[in-house]
Structure 1
Amino acid sequence: MLGIVKNAHKHLERVCVKSNNRQYSYQTLLNKSESIAVDLLAGKKDLNEQRVTFLVDPGFVYVSIQWGIWRAGGIAVPLCVKHPLESIKYVLDDTNTSVLIYSEKYKDLLEPVLNNNNIRCIKAESFTNIFGSLPVISLDRRAMIIYTSGTTGAPKGVVSTHQNIESQVVTLIKSWEWEKKDHILNVLPMHHVHGIVNITLCALWSGACCEFLPKFNAKDVFDLFKNKEINIFMAVPTIYYKLISFWKTLPKNEQQEISNTLEHFRLMVSGSAALPVSVLKYWKSISKHTLLERYGMTEIGMAISNPYRGKRKPGHIGQPLQGVSIRIAEDNGKISKIGEPGEIQVKGNNVFKEYWNKPKETKESFTKDNWFKTGDIAIFQEGSFKILGRNSVDIIKNGGYKVSALEIEEVLRKYKYIADCGVVGLPDEEWGEIIAVCIVINTKSISIDELKEWLKLKLPSYKIPTKYNIQKELPVNVMGKVVKNEIKKLF
């Protein structure tokens, strides 16, 4: 029996999920997921790693389908509810999906693929209560495929085994001290490890409650907080920024009520993108919490984290999680000295099995001695790792210098007229790359000349942008992460 299912039997009467103004017990989840598993099996003994894709909103239905797929021996392939049909068809074709589960609200979107004779299409609302025997699932079997676009080429399906997922979950539960009395709010997309693993699976493994808010709205989030049930919150930097912006618009008495509520939370985490120090400091002034920053990606789950207990260093991601090995390596494979930048490389049970049907890309993503190459550049200093950026988009090679776009962004955000910014490198014959910045301003206009003069006091000349573009907002993906390649197109 899978660990997460086994644990659920310890908490049968406890509430596991709250969604759509209803609450569901672990017993209800076990019953529903068993019924879905039996239906998927359709008389077979085991799905034997058939791919089952599903397009449903976050909530109890999502969780019961995910568990049902696993309990039937299938590979769960969650689809993004915001993706267009072409992106969905790509996943269906790439995985050679045998079953597609969908909610009624997505029927019109999926209409062109619902008549595919090679795919069994099931409406999520049609599952009935049927029970039967289920296969025994070993931990080395493939469990999930999550698609990550990366920076170049076609999207790749990241394959995780049950062992990979359990390793990721158990490590976070120990490190962040999850308990069954915890109650977390999930506002994140459920085709991404942040929402699936860090929030939902960690809560359900612990016997805790995971409450879903299908669509983010700052007022709704604060209203739920004020119910004083939720004590853990995890989000991306963009969400914290939006919460801060909304909080600023409230009357003083409402601001104080929210601050008093937040102060009693057990844990608040930020991840999936670099957290601006300015956002961290303002959130602390509101909540009395220093957001816990951590580092991970689809292929490895979480690998590095600031401590749950102990000092958290702004702008840093902390130390390796228990059971995860980390090293910093140079381009030539040589291990970097302490204090020198290099690529983060990871080894451990948390690391994914393969890219689906891409043996060449899988092999290239590992070193000869089997360390996964993340492509993220970091430095280890004063006992903690600090991300300098993504090798392909955040490290700008300007006239022989390797410049961190994240460092420049952090300085720019301190300028009084800048609300947000995104720094990129643009190809240049003379310099290799020149530094360009897209900025969002909090005033009617801004003097670029005055900004440049201010930057001269903060940065060496080779780190000062030479091209500027003002936009109303930065291009972001469904996780709220700034898309640097879209910024480049603006120039």
Structure 2
Amino acid sequence: MIQLVERAHAFATRTAIKSEGQDYSYAQLLAASESVARKLLNGEPDLNGARIAFLVPAGFAYAAIQWGIWRAGGVAVPLCEKHPLPSIEYVLTDTQASTVVFSADYAALLNPLFSNPAFVFLPAEELGQEKGPLPEVDPTRNALILYTSGTTGAPKGVVTTHANIEAQITALTTSWEWHPDDHALNVLPLHHVHGIINVLSCALWSGACCEFLPKFREAGVFELFRRGEVNVFMAVPTIYFKLIAYYHTLSAKEQEAISTALVKFRLMVSGSAALPVSVLEQWKAISGHTLLERYGMTEMGMAISNPYHGTRRPGHIGQPLPGVEVRLADENDQPLTATGQPGEIQIKGANVFKEYWGKPEETSKTFTPDGWFRTGDVAVLNEDSYQILGRNSIDIIKSGGYKISAIEIEEVLRNHPGVKDCAVVGIPDDEWGEVIGASIVPAAADLDLPALKAWMNEQLPGYKTPRKYLLQEDLPRNVMGKVTKQAIKDLFVNSSGHL
């Protein structure tokens, strides 16, 4: 039984989702998802874990399709609307998705794949009424595959079960005191745990309302805030940075109206990347709220959070959530006991993912012999609150809420005939947390950099393409011949010679 779906019956008449200028009740969500499930089953009794990918805009259709996949016994694989075709094809091939549900908005993007016999493409607009029973879905079944990039460079599919998802939801709804009268605005990508679990699923679990905008615009967000319905907002630091910048372009009267609306909010959260203290302080001056920072990953949902009630310390992520065990460990996976001693964050709990799809060795390597998940993030425990210091690997770049593999980008760059060698690093940036910088060793002196940038935009999503380039005769290396990425980072930070 999928508890998230079952609970919706108790909220049947309440508004579940606002999108496309319409209000949709929980009863409508249940009916629509049941119709989707029956269409996907096509007369079969159970999808039995078949991977069903879907590409639809954020809103009611997204929720109905996701729930429909689950209710039919399938595994939901949400695709990112901003990804180029090669990234989408990679996910479809890796998961061996049997069906791809898509809306007309993305028909042109997916068109080159329509002739591929490996996939069945099903227009979302054709998900009409069907008849037939639905299967019983055990909580231990696989429910969701979300893709993240690891230090190996290739994106990995993170598999979570219905039980994992329920644990992730209940930890947050308990700690952040979600209730049916909450009204959340969701401006986060729905191929990412932040938008799927922290906002959409927590709202629907609680009988609350989740609202979507057709497109993120600072003016549109503030206009919605001023209406007085929204009282819960979650975003990445980059979004807060953009809202603050826009706020300062407004008249004093407009600023006052926005601040008056914001101070009435119940909860404001920042996550997916480190929140600069300057952004926290500026937002507090505007809204009267100290943003609640928390810590999580695709592999575990949220694990640590600042308190809903009580002091929130800038630069700290707080304490473990209910049902989550946290320890700091040394390089030998031995737990540290001294306060203030840096160590890797390691996690245990029902929230932790099941496996990386089709990668048993990768799965095994990310867990200790006694079952702790190795996050790769280094932190210290200051009194009763954890503080993130950084990652074990310099090959993970945090930009705009995304964790991006430098190695993946390097592999793409090396496929360009004009690139002899390269190294990719994260460069500190107030707005994005980090921006991507690529140090290039050209294969010839006449490298056409604008053409290279245009080519990269065709190969990778925009958030994975370098913002800055540095041309070098060779890459700096240590005595063992390994590229010293910190030296490249320093060149970007201290030099004005990048392009």
TM-score (norm 2): 0.82
Instruction: Work out the CA distance in 1 between the residues paired with 2:125 and 2:277.
Output: 45
Aligned in 2, Cα 1:73/1:21: closer, same or farther, shift over 3 Å? same
Where does residue 393 of structure 2 map in the other structure? 392
Q: More deviation in 2-11 or 291-300? A: 2-11
Identity across matched positions, percent: 57
Aligned in 2, Cα 1:257/1:278: closer, same or farther, shift over 3 Å? same
Instruction: Work out the CA distance in 1 between the residues paired with 2:119 and 2:434.
Output: 44
Partner SS for 1:368? coil
Partner SS for 2:216? coil
Instruction: Work out the CA distance in 1 between the residues paired with 2:320 and 2:22.
Output: 38
CA-to-partner distance for each residue in 1:30-84, whole Å, 9 max, x for gaps?
A: 0000000001001110000000000111000000000000000000000000001
Query: 2:455 aligned with 1:429, yes or no?
Result: no
Instruction: Work out the CA distance in 1 between the residues paired with 2:378 and 2:27.
Output: 45
Instruction: Work out the CA distance in 2 between the residues paired with 1:50 and 1:172.
Output: 29
Q: What RMSD in Å do the two structures reach over aligned CA positions?
A: 2.4
CA-to-partner distance for each residue in 1:364-423, whole Å, 9 max, x for gaps?
A: 000000100000111111210000012112899xxxxxxxxxxx96xx96xxxx997669
Alignment check: 8 A CA contact 1:16 1:207 kept: yes
Aligned partner letter, 2:208: A
Report how far residue 432 of structure 1 moved.
5.6
Alignment check: 8 A CA contact 1:51 1:74 kept: yes
Query: 2:84 aligned with 1:84, yes or no?
Result: yes
Where does residue 50 of structure 1 map in the other structure? 50
Aligned partner letter, 2:219: K
Report how far residue 433 of structure 1 moved.
5.7
Report how far residue 294 of structure 1 moved.
0.1
Alignment check: 8 A CA contact 1:233 1:268 kept: yes
Aligned partner letter, 1:379: V
Partner SS for 2:89? helix
Instruction: Work out the CA distance in 2 between the residues paired with 1:259 and 1:109.
Output: 41
Aligned in 2, Cα 1:231/1:161: closer, same or farther, shift over 3 Å? same
Alignment check: 8 A CA contact 1:421 1:437 kept: no
Where does residue 143 of structure 1 map in the other structure? 143
Where does residue 494 of structure 2 map in the other structure? 468
Instruction: Work out the CA distance in 2 between the residues paired with 1:103 and 1:14.
Output: 26
Partner SS for 1:148? strand
Report how far residue 150 of structure 1 moved.
2.6
Where does residue 105 of structure 2 map in the other structure? 105
Aligned in 2, Cα 1:95/1:434: closer, same or farther, shift over 3 Å? closer
Where does residue 254 of structure 1 map in the other structure? 254
> Taking CA–CA contacts closer than 8 Å with sequence separation of 6 or more, which of the two structures ends up with the larger relative contact order?
2
Aligned partner letter, 1:26: Y
Report how far residue 160 of structure 1 moved.
0.2
Alignment check: 8 A CA contact 2:476 2:487 kept: no
Where does residue 9 of structure 1 map in the other structure? 9
Where does residue 20 of structure 1 map in the other structure? 20
Where does residue 194 of structure 2 map in the other structure? 194
Report how far residue 115 of structure 1 moved.
2.3
- What is the total number of aligned residue pairs between the two structures? 430
Instruction: Work out the CA distance in 1 between the residues paired with 2:279 and 2:493.
Output: 25
Partner SS for 2:190? coil
Where does residue 399 of structure 1 map in the other structure? none
Instruction: Work out the CA distance in 1 between the residues paired with 2:371 and 2:63.
Output: 33
CA-to-partner distance for each residue in 1:333-368, whole Å, 9 max, x for gaps?
A: 222232111110000000000000000000000000
Query: 2:369 aligned with 1:368, yes or no?
Result: yes
Where does residue 482 of structure 1 map in the other structure? none
Alignment check: 8 A CA contact 1:423 1:437 kept: no
Alignment check: 8 A CA contact 1:294 1:305 kept: yes
TM-score (norm 1): 0.83
Aligned partner letter, 1:429: N
Where does residue 476 of structure 1 map in the other structure? none
Instruction: Work out the CA distance in 2 between the residues paired with 1:436 and 1:251.
Output: 43
Alignment check: 8 A CA contact 1:100 1:121 kept: yes
User: Any gaps of 5 or more consecutive residues in structure 1?
Assistant: 397-407, 439-464, 472-489
Instruction: Work out the CA distance in 2 between the residues paired with 1:330 and 1:375.
Output: 11
User: Any gaps of 5 or more consecutive residues in structure 2?
Assistant: 398-426, 440-474
Instruction: Work out the CA distance in 2 between the residues paired with 1:136 and 1:420.
Output: 44
Report how far residue 149 of structure 1 moved.
1.6
Partner SS for 1:233? strand
Partner SS for 2:4? helix
Where does residue 208 of structure 1 map in the other structure? 208
Instruction: Work out the CA distance in 2 between the residues paired with 1:392 and 1:305.
Output: 23
Partner SS for 2:40? helix
Alignment check: 8 A CA contact 1:434 1:466 kept: no
Partner SS for 2:494? strand
Alignment check: 8 A CA contact 1:346 1:374 kept: yes
Report how far residue 119 of structure 1 moved.
1.9
Q: More deviation in 421-430 or 1-10? A: 421-430
Aligned in 2, Cα 1:15/1:264: closer, same or farther, shift over 3 Å? same
Aligned partner letter, 1:344: I
